[in-house]
Structure formats: structure tokens, C-alpha cells
Amino acid sequence: MGVNVVDHPLAKSLLASLRDRSTPPPLFRLLAKRLALLLCMEATRRVPLVQIEVETPLAKTTGARIAQPLVAVPVLRAGLSMLEAVTELFPDVTVGYVGLERDHATFEPSMYYSKLPALEGRAALLLDPMLATGGSAAAACSALEKAGAESVTLLSVVSAPEGIAKLQRLHPSVNIFTVSVDEGLDEHAYIIPGLGDFGDRLFGTP
Ligand code: PRP
Ligand code: URA
């Protein structure tokens, strides 16, 4: 479906610090979580509600609660940085995991792990901070759709136009929420200007 750029001033400021090559892993993790909170708030703006009765100390009134628990699926490894934000905002969320790794030469993803909860008729939030060629996100969307997800919303911190185009071509119903659409990819399929290798910076690996 659409690409939604979350251009809140706080998101822009957090992203600038996240991009900074001198940002160490502990701060990188904090910034990533805060960006995930902002993305999650925007991406869930239209989740269905049911009306409930509430009794305040003074009167009866009506309120709302979320109709059905969401399903969050972080893509290992980098998507793990976004999970805590979602579980804090939506404690009833059920969580699945998809492990995907890009081949350094072909940039093709291979799936090395998948553990998904029941997805029939459920709305899934796919968590992966980097949308580069789009291969990983497309593979993850295929897995979620095959498992019966009613809708898939991708939360990505930084996206490349190439990845957006690929995802829209292969999975036109997927909604994308991102903080930035960057210039494009370099010859190693890294996002420019991007922020480097998200997983490595998150976990302090070389
Ligand atoms: C990164 C990132 C995405 C993928 C994006 O994962 O977290 O999953 O690359 O690239 P693509 O759009 O070209 O597929 P990576 O394969 O580096 O694994 P890691 O998170 O375990 O480091
Ligand atoms: N994966 C990353 O971590 N960074 C990129 O720029 C592209 C893919």
C-alpha cells in the first residue's frame, strides 16, 4: 500500500544521532528503541477498537480497547532492537521471529530460522530497521502471508528507494512506516548515507 515517512522532529533528531559513526552500541540501542516507539505509535494509529464501559469514581462512560492483540515479528538480528518498544506499548502482543541473513556477494537473503505464532486473520508488525535491496523484507513478508497474516506493516528506520520499490512490487498490500527514505544503495548494497551495518553497530560486532 503506502509509504509513510515519520518526520516528527524528535525522530529526525534521534536518527541523526543513530547515523553518527561515533555513537557507541549502548547509545545506539537506546536511540533505536526510541525510534521504534515513534514508528510503532504511527503505524498503529488505525488499529481497530472495541467500545467498552468504564466506571470512573464519578460516573459511567464509554471507552475503547484494542480489538485484537497484534503480532510483532522482528527480523533477526537487527529487528530485535525494535521489539521492546512494541511489547511496552502493546503488552498483549504475540511475538514471532524470522532469522534472515544477506549473502555478502549476491545480497540475496537466506532464512535460517522461523518461529511464527498463529497468524490467520491477524495484523502483523514486521520489525526490521533497514530496508536496503528489499530482499529480506520481501522474504519475511512471504513467510507472514503464507502463515495467514491478514495484514503486514513494516516498521523500518531507514529505507532505500530500491527496497521500497521491490517490496511494493512483490507485496503491494504491505504498508511501510519509515523515518527516512535515503538516497540509494552503494555497490555493496549498503544504504547511502544510511548508518552502516545496523546489526554490527547494535551488538558491537565487527
Ligand atoms: C540487514 C538488515 C535487514 C537486511 C536489509 O540484515 O537488518 O534484515 O540487512 O537488507 P536487504 O533489504 O538488502 O535485504 P543482515 O543480513 O545484515 O543480518 P543481521 O541483522 O543479522 O546483521
Ligand atoms: N543492512 C544494513 O545493516 N545496512 C545497510 O545499509 C544495508 C543492509
Q: What's the confidence (pLDDT) of residue 28?
A: 98
- Catalytic residue numbers read 102, 106, 197, 200
What is the CA(102)–ligand 1 centre distance, in A? 6
Provide the pLDDT for residue 1: 67
Class of the CATH domain delimited by 3-203: alpha beta
Atom of ligand 2 nearest to the CA of 192: 6
The torsion angles phi and psi of 123, rounded to 5 degrees, stand at: -90, 125
What is residue 199's predicted lDDT score, i.e. its pLDDT? 97
| Cα(68) to centroid(ligand 1), Å | 30
**What is the residue with the minimal CA distance to atom 6 of ligand 1?**
101
From first to last of the 206 residues of the chain, give the pLDDT tens digit.
699 999 999 999 999 999 999 999 999 999 999 999 999 999 999 999 999 999 999 999 999 999 999 999 999 999 999 999 999 999 999 999 999 999 989 999 999 999 999 899 999 999 999 999 999 999 999 999 999 999 999 999 999 999 999 999 999 999 999 999 999 999 999 999 999 999 999 999 98
Question: For residue 75, which phi and psi values (nearest 5 degrees)?
Answer: -90, 120
Q: Where are the domains of the chain?
A: 3-203
Quick check: CB of 101 below 6 Å from ligand 2?
Answer: no
Beta bridge partners of residue 97, listed in sequence order: 115
CA of 183 to the centre of ligand 2 (A): 13
Concatenating the DSSP letter of every residue in 53-107 gives EEE-SS-EEEEEEESS--EEEEEETTTHHHHHHHHHH-TT-EE-EEEEEE-TTT-
> What angle, 0 to 180 degrees and rounded to 10, lies between the N-to-C axes of helices 80-89 and 25-43?
50
Residue nearest to atom 22 of ligand 1 (CA): 199
Residue 155 is predicted with a pLDDT of 98
**Could you tell me if the CB of 37 is within 6 A of ligand 1?**
no
For residue 128, give the C-alpha cell.
526490521
